[in-house]
Structure 1
Amino acid sequence: MKYDNIIEGKFISRLNRFVAYVCVDGVQEKVHVKNTGRLKELLVGGATVYLQKHDDPKRSTALSLIAVKKVGQIVNIDSQAPNKAMHEWLAACMQITGGSAAAGGSAGGSTAPGPTAPCPVAFAGNATPAAILRPGEKITAIRPEYTYKGSRFDFLIETDQRKILMEVKGVTLEENGTALFPDAPTDRGVRHIMELCGSKEDGYSPVIAFVIQMDGVRQFSPNAKTHGAFADALVSAHEQGVRIIALDCEVTVDSIVIRDFVDVALEQA
């Protein structure tokens, strides 16, 4: 996915989960933080940040903080980016496997506009459909924000063989080459894992996809130090047959594209 109107600034401080102060061309600006997570290792005073400028006069802030430079590496922090990048990747997978390109949609509506629609993104690395599809399996429809038993999941991926129920988690925390999730306790995340486990009884093939909003990591692990219950639930889900994948991203100041799979180490970090 691409951003437009990107400018650079220096991080000053965070007022609350939604607002921060940033210096842009010597002027202090109040900006919207597009991630309510803690981000303590990223949002430090003096850090180089990247902001999207908005022309909407109805907005309370004209700038949104979308990325941070950490030790020379750009980390995307936009909490909406993982789902958008995943949708683009799934659409590319759809064409690679012989289906139609996917477009936007909502729960219950098909997202296949036709066989001549262009592939929206080229693969940035080795993240091919093989990890989530069976040999010869074709994606026939992608349904974002799919409702299952009263809960909303990020994607229902329909193929010519089955229905894949996918939940996407964005990852911005990295320690010593290991990407970690969550960076704060998430009871909602635990509930989603339990519901995905139960979906197998209704014939779904559940997948949890961790989209790491940076590149260069060696592996992904659940962050048991922050939320042991989430780590335990993830291990249990794996044992019950839920597919767990992690993908890193090629990130620039104005783009994020899924790049490659990374190893998943479920021993609690």
Structure 2
Amino acid sequence: MKLCQPRLEGRLIKRYKRFLADIELAGGEIITAHTGNTGAMLGCSDPGSRVWIYDTENPKRKYRYSWDMVEDLAGNLIGIHTTRANKLVSEGIANGVIKELAGYEAKPEVKYKNFNTRFDFMLCKNDAPQHCFLEVKSVTAKRHTDTAIFPDAKSERGKKHLDVLMDALMQGYRSIAFYCIQRDDVNCFSPADEIDPLYAETLRKAHAAGVEIMAYKTRLSPDEIALYQAVPVSLY
């Protein structure tokens, strides 16, 4: 996926109020950018980090620029735009990168009748007896040296999504929790018990019930990002 242009490089001064970040551009100008990530952004918002923003070129927006990528203090690129995860997964299904979902067509934002909620995707396949529901989570945090973790803050909404996936499974649908890891410096995925033990326990319960868990990492550059490789999932 080619990222929005034109792109500007800068240094993070601070992130605040969840959605805002002050950034110093290469020429010394300081701008306030919108941050498309409501999580804690552990390891992704250290002052002085190298960042990339893009100009929305939308005169109606209060904040003209959006921040979507950071280089952490160890030199690893991380995509921080949460909603981009859905686009990456849609692209990965369409181009066959996600081999477990080969042959499916993805329909986004499908309402689920048993709950007042929507799934990120409903997947359809001619030779499949039932549709498949898929919920995507954007992963940016990691533990130790090589384990991606989710969530990076307590997530009641995330737990609800797992409950709905289990309900869909009981109705006969294939159900998948998909973790889109927007970084390349990890080799496995695990729930973050140390941050949200209830979410982690619910994920294990969902897996035991039959909900599939998939995790893929991305290859990144300042101008492009794409899913490219599955990583093992460790639930404990």
TM-score (structure 1 length as normaliser): 0.82
Aligned mate of 1:245, from 214, 220, 223: 214
Q: What corresponds to 1:147 in structure 2?
A: 111
Q: What corresponds to 2:17 in structure 1?
A: 16
- Where structure 2 has 5 or more consecutive residues not aligned to the other structure, the ranges are none
Aligned mate of 1:87, from 78, 90, 93: 90
Percent of pairs with identical residues: 31
**Partner Cα distance (1:182, 1:128) in 2:** 22
Matches within 5 A, 1:112-127: 127=97
Q: What corresponds to 1:35 in structure 2?
A: 37
SS in 2 for 1:263: coil
Aligned residues: 228
Aligned mate of 1:60, from 59, 62, 79: 62
Q: CA deviation at 1:166?
A: 0.2
Contact 1:81 1:256 in 2 (8 A): no
**Partner Cα distance (1:172, 1:188) in 2:** 17
Q: What corresponds to 2:141 in structure 1?
A: 173
Contact 1:68 1:76 in 2 (8 A): yes
Aligned residue identity for 1:14: R
- Where structure 1 has 5 or more consecutive residues not aligned to the other structure, the ranges are 94-126
Q: CA deviation at 1:265?
A: 0.2
2:169 matches 1:200: yes
Q: CA deviation at 1:201?
A: 2.2
2:233 matches 1:264: yes
Aligned residue identity for 1:77: I
Matches within 5 A, 1:185-196: 185-196=154-165
Q: CA deviation at 1:54?
A: 2.0
Aligned mate of 1:159, from 105, 109, 125: 125
TM-score (structure 2 length as normaliser): 0.93
**Partner Cα distance (1:240, 1:40) in 2:** 31
**Partner Cα distance (2:153, 2:81) in 1:** 16
SS in 1 for 2:133: strand
- Taking a change above 3 Å as real, the CA distance of residues 40 and 207 of structure 1, as seen in their structure-2 partners, is closer
**Partner Cα distance (1:54, 1:18) in 2:** 16
Q: CA deviation at 1:254?
A: 2.0
Aligned mate of 2:198, from 223, 229, 236: 229
Q: CA deviation at 1:128?
A: 4.1
